[in-house]
Amino acid sequence: MIQPVYQQTLREAVTFRGVGLHTGKTVEVKVKPAEPDTGIVFARTDLDPRLRVRAVASATRLNEARQTTLVVGEGVIRTIEHLMAVFHGLGVDNTIVEVDGEEIPGMDGSAKEFAEGINHAGLVKQDRERRFVEIGEPIYVDQGDQSLIVLPAPNLTISYTLSYRHEDLADQFLSLCILPEIFEREIAPARTFVLKEEAQLLLARGFGKGANFENTLVFEKNSPIENSLRFDNEACRHKIMDLLGDLFLSGGFLKGHVIATRSGHLLNLEFARKIAMSSGKSQEKPHHFGSNIPSTLDVEGIQKILPHRYPFLFVDRIEKLHPGKKATGYKLVSSNDYYFQGHFPGHPVMPGVLIMEALAQVGGVVMLSMPEMQGKIAYFMSVDYCKFRQTVVPGDELRMEVEVLRYRSKTGQCAGRAYVGDKLVCEAEVKFAIVDR
């Protein structure tokens, strides 16, 4: 009989202070215990400490390279990947991370100090079983000569091929089963790195303002300048750490064998989004929350209500959900979304019918989240007063505000508006037929 694995949080809070690798600004981070099922939650205490955002792929900014950036209200928290890798690698299910600036400190360029601090604070088991993201069939993404695939496996293994195809950094490969003791010993100490010729380009683009030869390995002729290696393949190990942090944004602890070739943060985040959206495929029927439905839903929660799955699920998260009344949905538009391959190639524009579909899916969540709608499904009947006012392009985030106009046992009608920032891009009224599944 398989023994259950229980969630964990910190025994006590731990504080880290340092300089952001990219911003160069000093910042303080407090990692605090949290209740079961909280997840990994971030807050910007210098902006609005009441606003807390769960760290999931749908809440990240997809158009930034060299770092993973979480959107928190009107602000951001940059470079969360090293801390997220520690949570994933050591087994932290629930915590609240309070940050008084826009970037997690880089410390010595690795996750070593984060891991040591959290281990010193200690972890405690909680009275709730851990949520695993189990892979039932292969999932993959690729972009040119970069690729990621995850295969079904009982535990998490990462196999990474690093190949910069450059004389300053030789090709490297490493495959590891990710366990807390292996993460702490083999992955956490690996530091961030760049090629010498990249360093000046990154500074010109506004990155790396807090980097130096001590916290960043700058490679020339396959050796770091003014530093020494902790591992012969330290660059490959750091890539595994980044990937491990980004994978935790899929919504839980991953069970699968991940095979990565030359991937970076942008492809990692696309992969995490695809895993999150595919993880509910095996569910035959949508699950309903009854009268205890939360007001905020991530992809996992949405999939418990809607039958849609990747690639036809167009809502990343729901906020301010009042079943049967209204909700606000969000959709991050990425250049890797499949429909951009053939819709206005070279001039990507999100198809209007898909914006309309996204609005309808938010409406479906509002309708079907009512307890009396359990076991039902909503089909389009008609669309009225539909107007498209602005184009939507990769990098935009759709905000869809939907309210119910009327509903009966077999029909429902919603009005919705989609925005990008403050600009209205689409509005319509949608009528549904509500039938047994």
- pLDDT per residue as tens digits for the range 180-191: 999 999 999 999
pLDDT in tens, 200-210: 777 666 667 88
User: What does residue 184 show for φ and ψ, rounded to 5 degrees?
Assistant: -65, -40
pLDDT band at 336 (very low <50, low <70, confident <90, very high): low
pLDDT in tens, 337-389: 778 777 777 788 999 999 999 999 999 999 998 888 877 888 888 899 999 99
Give the per-residue pLDDT at 292: 59
Q: Is 257 a catalytic residue?
A: no
Give the per-residue pLDDT at 64: 63
> How far is residue 387 from each of residues 350, 404, 425, measured CA to CA in Å?
15, 19, 8
Task: Flag whether pLDDT at 418 surpasses 70.
Answer: yes
Domains of the chain: 6-129 (3.30.230.20), 133-277 (3.30.1700.10), 280-436 (3.10.129.10)
Among 329-343, 357-371, 388-402, 421-435, where is mean pLDDT lowest? 329-343
User: What does residue 27 show for φ and ψ, rounded to 5 degrees?
Assistant: -145, 150
Q: What is the percentage of the chain residues whose pLDDT exceeds 90?
A: 63
Q: What is the percentage of the chain residues whose pLDDT exceeds 70?
A: 93
Q: Is 308 a catalytic residue?
A: no
99 neighbors 32 (Cβ within 8 angstroms):
no
pLDDT band at 144 (very low <50, low <70, confident <90, very high): confident
Of 22, 82, 238, 265, the active-site residue reads: 265
Which one, of 297, 259, 270, 434, lies nearest residue 364 by Cα?
Answer: 434
Task: Flag whether pLDDT at 252 surpasses 70.
Answer: yes
195 neighbors 164 (Cβ within 8 angstroms):
yes
pLDDT band at 52 (very low <50, low <70, confident <90, very high): confident
pLDDT band at 65 (very low <50, low <70, confident <90, very high): low
Among 89-93, 103-107, 170-174, 404-408, where is mean pLDDT lowest? 404-408
